[in-house]
Amino acid sequence: MFRRLFLGRVLLGAAGAALVRPAAAAEERFEVMRSEAEWRARLGPLEYRVMREEGTERAFTSPLNDEHRDGVFHCKGCDLPLYASKDKFDSGTGWPSFTRSLPDAVRTRPDRSFFMVRTEVHCRRCGSHLGHVFDDGPPPTGKRHCINGVSLTFAPA
Ligand SMILES: [Zn+2]
């Protein structure tokens, strides 16, 4: 009985560690670095969960889904310009989607959580999580940057 309980806790612990991963900034160096307390003070709970803990906002909840004006989408964590409105398209997924980022705006890394291998994408300057990149996008790149709206701010042209 005890042995079974112990094994269960070990397995639960391992699964928990795989699902709750440390924030990117805790592992890597970025041009803009803030402490966890600074990030928490700066961001709302959902923003913190998505941007610093690689969470995902619920589909169709971001007002930026329906943002069709000319302009630039900036990182909410450091204000770096990340995506141009001309590269935005309606993917039907419920998340703001882009065929590419602005030059030298984002970085990617393999994301092996949830028993899948996906390509995670984050801000080059502050490391904030943005979303994932998939290979099923439209021309000219064939890429789909599937981005959480809470990670972005929009500046109309
Ligand atoms: Zn940033």
33-48 pLDDT per residue, tens: 999 999 999 999 999 9
| pLDDT value of residue 46 | 98
Question: With 70 as the cut, is the pLDDT of residue 85 above it?
Answer: yes
Q: Looking at residues 129-155, what average pLDDT do you find?
A: 98
Higher pLDDT: 21 or 59? It is 59
Of 73, 128, 82, 127, nearest to 101 by C-alpha is 82
Phi, psi of 35 (to 5 degrees): -75, 165
What residues sit around ligand 1, an ion, with C-beta below 5 angstroms? Answer: 75, 77-78, 80, 123, 125-126, 128
What is the tally of helices (H) and strands (E) in the chain?
4, 9
Q: Looking at residues 120-137, what average pLDDT do you find?
A: 98
Indicate the fold that domain 5-156 takes in CATH.
Answer: 2.170.150
CA of 27 to the centre of ligand 1 (A): 16
Residues near 27 by beta carbon (within 8 Å), at least 6 away in sequence? none
Question: With 60 as the cut, is the pLDDT of residue 23 above it?
Answer: no
pLDDT band at 126 (very low <50, low <70, confident <90, very high): very high
Enumerate long-range contacts of 108-115, CB under 8 Å, 24 or more apart: 108/133, 109/24, 111/54, 113/18, 113/19, 113/21, 113/54, 114/19
Please give the single-letter amino acid code of residue 92: G
Q: Is 146 a catalytic residue?
A: yes
Question: With 50 as the cut, is the pLDDT of residue 20 above it?
Answer: no
Give the Cα separation of 17 and 116 in Å (integer).
Answer: 16
Domain residue extents for the chain: 5-156
CA of 43 to the centre of ligand 1 (A): 12
CA of 15 to the centre of ligand 1 (A): 29
Question: With 60 as the cut, is the pLDDT of residue 11 above it?
Answer: no
Which residues on adjacent β-strands are paired with residue 123? 106
| pLDDT value of residue 38 | 97
pTM of the model: 0.83
Phi, psi of 146 (to 5 degrees): -95, 105
